[in-house]
A and B are shown apart, each in its own frame.
Chain A
């Protein structure tokens, strides 16, 4: 028997909009749709102010070359990973992969940003197990070890995919008369109230009583192949993956975005648990499911392809022109509300933030770890498109027969603690430096907001979002997608504001500079002045293009990973670590170069 959650924040607003008292089913539905995780109440306003490109679909998209687009997004699975690290991390990978897939792109890479108090085996194994099984290489990431994340680990997973332009799938229905096929694994009681769970403080029993979501990577792999086959055959007119909020969220979003409605037949959803009641079927967050919008005459073929791939499939809904979202079970209406109302989660006020001058930051150091012990558990080579593997810094992939692209995932929680505005700003700038260092040109970013309690501390969030906006405008790098995870607190104590940025860049020349024997120099400045930043960028670009290996790190005292990687290829690196401020404008270059930046010899490689 499912315990109903009555203490929904926005009941008053809901009943005012409905013009009557809400039914039990409606309360369940809106608790999920208007939760922070699904509704973005506290962040919608800020996100609207960001410079955006290719935004609004399941994942962000930017053109890569004349024939291909690149889809990418970062997503968090923090709360589930705190309760059950293995499955929390695994299902995190699964979810973001489906977001990429839904755009009509084949997932080509995964990167993870992990903030934990120690190397949590469960989280590493979860990502490894799932990513390896579905055959998507995990090519990079960041590992930040600090006590601040003891009760609230942050698991942010970024996925990237490449699709052909003619296969780009809209994340919405187009016209009345279309049908929605839901296919994938069977539906159970997984994660019921997971969406609202992610919007709550993690103290106590609440956290463990909920159904743990368990991933099925085999089903996911079959889902990827089935969906791509449907796309190839031109059967997919719109798509949405089923994640937070399950059938309800996916089907209502698909029609609401197009000012249409839907009639959903819940009895057609394949179940794996007996006696599920209609509301449970509606909001279940069972993994590895996808919603495909197609024309009625194509539906049989869609279902045939799904079943050929050992997946369940059926026509779950019809698209209507009424604008009403009607969910039925064996003909009996379960809910009947305006589709747009489900999407219009109440917006919390956003705050203006006036940036002050950058403070003098203190060093808060993360543990220096040789990341080999982590990334050698991920298959980073499957697909034979990984040009620069983990261990050197940014990853570089290629599209066979075409160009390359760089992938960076980066954050500065150590600065976020002290000044969220400047932390966000510097994170973006450092991501640009890393991208330029491999000879790539930044295209766009995906942002992962990880924050504590915005109701208690709204200013930090406002500061962080303003920092991100201003930095994007300064750098001329737009935002293509993003994610927000709020309420990362334990017994009222919160994590430092941690903005994770995933940046994609484009490379024409796949001959990326590699480390060579010879002298090593520190170039640039040990402190930070914004006016110098673009000069630094020009120099990095020029030096990388001339074939020299450039390293851009926020903390040069944590070079164990690079050192160990060089040892693997028979090189020994001896360096005097350059001393710098937590916010600096320094890069390390292998080989002697002509430069207008201050240059200091700091060691050698032999």
Chain B
């Protein structure tokens, strides 16, 4: 580990528009955070694919972004065990990249929905949810037109968040999933918008806090191992 402090990078695709919000949330929690573009290299502990309308959603949501040069960087990073959060359009991109299973289709109402919804935290064993209690009810905002999650592979779908009632027609009210290794998570709601009670709830804060402390802990453990080897 060349870095002692948790570092996060937010990938800005042409058309991403929740990137500044994501940076704000990361810095709020204490990350050393920066933006990177589609031709840049990943050098971080945590990578965020933010919300927005990459490439205008013109072809299929997330389709063009998923095939940009940075896609291979992201895949390698994931294989090395790096942490990735895909929020809203970021979730759609992770699905198009096949780093998460499932499909995200148009909301059952056919319309864009922006509102605060209640979620249930289903899996607290991921690096992003260890600050929650199992089954805890939280409030996060959604803002999307294509958020209907359709399960395609039972074995590869690990549900992390569920809506507590039908919001957009998602299978089993699924709001967010992770991969089997649990280092990649995608969710349609926006935790970066729930950092302060003034703006919304502050339930989203704990998603970033969980990741921050998971990384810090790992670093401390690695440092201890390294020191033990050297006989300190």
Interface residues of A (CB under 8 A from B): 128, 132-135, 216-218, 221-222, 309-310, 375-387, 398, 400, 510, 568
Contact = CB atoms under 8 A, between A and B. Distances in A.
Given A218-B14, A221-B17, A384 B192 contact: yes
12 contacts: A133-B17, A133-B53, A135-B18, A218-B56, A221-B53, A222-B15, A376-B115, A381-B193, A382-B18, A384-B21, A384-B195, A510-B198
A381 B200 contact: yes
B143 interface: yes
A206 to B, nearest CB: 32
Contacts of B127: none
A398 B190 CA distance: 19
Contact of A386 (B14, B15, B24, B199): B199
Contacts of A132: 53, 112, 143, 145
Please list the 7 inter-chain residue pairs (A to B) with the smallest Cβ-Cβ separation, ordered nearest first: A135-B17, A218-B56, A379-B143, A133-B53, A384-B21, A377-B112, A379-B114
Contacts of B14: 218, 221-222, 309-310
B53 A382 contact: no
Interface string B1-27: 000000000000011011011001000
Nearest to B113: A376
A387 B200 contact: no
A385 B58 CA distance: 27
A376 B53 CA distance: 18
A333 B132 CA distance: 71
Contacts of A568: 115
B114 A135 contact: no
B57 interface: yes
Given A218-B15, A221-B15, A510-B198, A379 B21 contact: no
A221 B51 CA distance: 14
A327 B196 CA distance: 54
A134 B24 contact: no
Interface of B: 14-15, 17-18, 20-21, 24, 51-53, 55-58, 111-115, 141, 143, 145, 190, 192-193, 195-196, 198-200
Nearest to A220: B56
Contacts of B198: 387, 398, 510
Nearest to A510: B198
A384 B193 contact: yes
Contact of B56 (A128, A133, A383): A133
A133 B15 contact: yes
Contacts of B53: 132-133, 135, 217-218, 221
Given A380-B114, A381-B200, A384-B199, 18 more contacts: A133-B56, A135-B52, A135-B53, A217-B53, A218-B58, A221-B17, A309-B14, A377-B111, A377-B113, A378-B112, A378-B114, A381-B143, A381-B199, A383-B21, A384-B21, A384-B193, A384-B195, A387-B199
Contacts of A400: 24
Contacts, number: 77
A133 B58 CA distance: 10
Given A132-B53, A133-B57, A135-B52, A381 B190 contact: yes
A376 B114 contact: yes
Nearest to B190: A381
Contacts of A376: 113-115
A375 B114 CA distance: 8
B194 to A, nearest CB: 9
A381 B111 CA distance: 17
Contact of A381 (B112, B114, B196): B114
A221 B53 CA distance: 9
Interface of A is mostly: loop
A527 B51 CA distance: 49
A384 B19 CA distance: 11
B143 A217 contact: no
Contacts of B115: 376, 568
Nearest to B24: A384
A491 B14 CA distance: 46
A178 B217 CA distance: 57
A230 B83 CA distance: 34
B208 to A, nearest CB: 13
A308 B44 CA distance: 25
B98 to A, nearest CB: 24
A458 B188 CA distance: 54
Contacts of B17: 133-135, 221, 382
Nearest to A134: B17
A135 B14 CA distance: 12
Contacts of A398: 198
Contacts of B20: 383
Contacts of A128: 112
A587 B141 CA distance: 31
B19 to A, nearest CB: 9
Contacts of B114: 375-381
Contact of B112 (A216, A221, A310, A379): A379
A491 to B, nearest CB: 34
Contacts of A385: 199
Contacts of B145: 132
Contacts of B200: 381
A64 B198 CA distance: 21
Contacts of A217: 53, 56
B201 to A, nearest CB: 12
Nearest to A309: B14
B117 to A, nearest CB: 11
A127 to B, nearest CB: 11
A134 B114 CA distance: 15
A555 to B, nearest CB: 26
Contacts of A382: 17-18, 21, 51, 143, 193
A222 B51 CA distance: 16
A385 B193 CA distance: 9
Contacts of A384: 21, 24, 192-193, 195-196, 199
A310 B55 CA distance: 11
Which among A216, A221, A387 has the highest number of chain B CB atoms within 10 Å? A221
Contacts of B21: 382-384
A183 to B, nearest CB: 15
A400 B21 CA distance: 11
Nearest to A308: B37
B88 to A, nearest CB: 10
Which among B20, B56, B115, B196 has the highest number of chain A CB atoms within 10 Å? B56
Contacts of A386: 199
Contacts of A309: 14
B143 to A, nearest CB: 4
B12 to A, nearest CB: 9
